[in-house]
Amino acid sequence: MTVKLTREGPYALLTLDRPEALNALSFDIIRQIDAALEQARLWDIRALIITGAGDKAFCAGADIKKLMGRSLEEQKRGAELGQVTFAKLDRFPVPSIAAINGYAFGGGMELAMACTFRVAGPGARMGLPEVKLGLIPGYGGTQRLPRLVGEARAMELILTGRTVKPEQALQIGLVNQVVEVDVVAAAIAFADQFSGYSKLALNFARDAVQRALSVPLSEGLRIEVDLSTLAYQTEDADEGMSAFIEKRIPQFKDR
């Protein structure tokens, strides 16, 4: 298998393991990612971390050698396959973190952008270079990048295809954290910040934030009323508020 799924304590670690091709994505690998997500969904985990094998690349994007010679129908189905698989990260039962350990280009950056958070190591290089191939992003890049960094920056990055280094990625909001050391260890430490909280509260919050940019403010505020009321109904909300008043650490049960 080219996609490996392992347990790291309370987390699942999904590794793209094709370092000789900089972890480039064939249709088969995307299907393996999809299968790994379905498997990890059944595990009792607090976060999913995604990284690339080797020290050069997170993922260099769609497999360009297999891109050529496709029929239009195959190409369209390929874009849909990538989008549907990456969209599963948006709705994944626990937050996901891309541990970007090298090149994250094209479909690789789109995979990272579909994660809830991104942590970049010192060698991380990010970009959507499709325009240099006469193409445009097809796995969600034109839609997720403006939501992360705003329209002007997204337009600039997509139309120039230029590479972004970690410090600039942090500055424009493309990544959440830049680290000098082991990026998977850093992603685990990042997840440790929220892994003790109620999964229900985390998911209501993710849902509300994700919908913020796709609905008018008045509708978003209505969504927040509904989701905050749903959170209030949980046993974990009772536990969290009781623990505060009783000056003890809450024991959340995801109920």
Return the range that interacts with ligand CAA (CB under 6 A); candidates 2-10, 27-35, 137-145, 220-228: 137-145
Using rule CB under 6 A, residue 58 touches ligand CAA: no
236 is a contact residue toward ligand CAA (CB under 6 A): no
Q: Does 166 contact ligand CAA by CB under 6 A? A: no
Give how far Cα 13 sits from Cα of 22, 154, 251, Å. Answer: 18, 29, 25
Length of the chain: 255
Q: Are 169 and 163 in contact (CB under 8 A)?
A: no
State how far the Cα of 174 lies from the Cα of 246, in Å rounded to an integer: 40
Amino acid at 255: R
Distance of alpha carbon 133 from alpha carbon 19, whole angstroms? 22
Of residues 74, 80, 130, 239, which has the active-site annotation? 130
The residue range among 4-12, 54-62, 93-101, 183-191 that interacts with ligand CAA, by the rule CB under 6 A, is: 54-62
Sheet of strand 96-100: strand arrangement: 3-8, 11-16, 47-52, 96-100, 117-120, 177-178
Residue from 121, 137, 166, 250 touching ligand CAA (CB under 6 A): that is 137
* Residues from 20 through 49 that contact ligand CAA (CB under 6 A): 21-22, 24
| Tokens, residue 249 | 């650490």
Instruction: Show contacts with ligand CAA in window 61-90 (CB under 6 A).
Output: 61-65, 82
> Active site includes 130?
yes
> Binding residues for ligand CAA, how many (CB under 6 A)?
23
Residue 219 designated active-site: no
- Binding positions for ligand CAA, rule: CB under 6 A: 21-22, 24, 60-65, 82, 103, 105-107, 110, 129-130, 133, 135, 137-139, 141
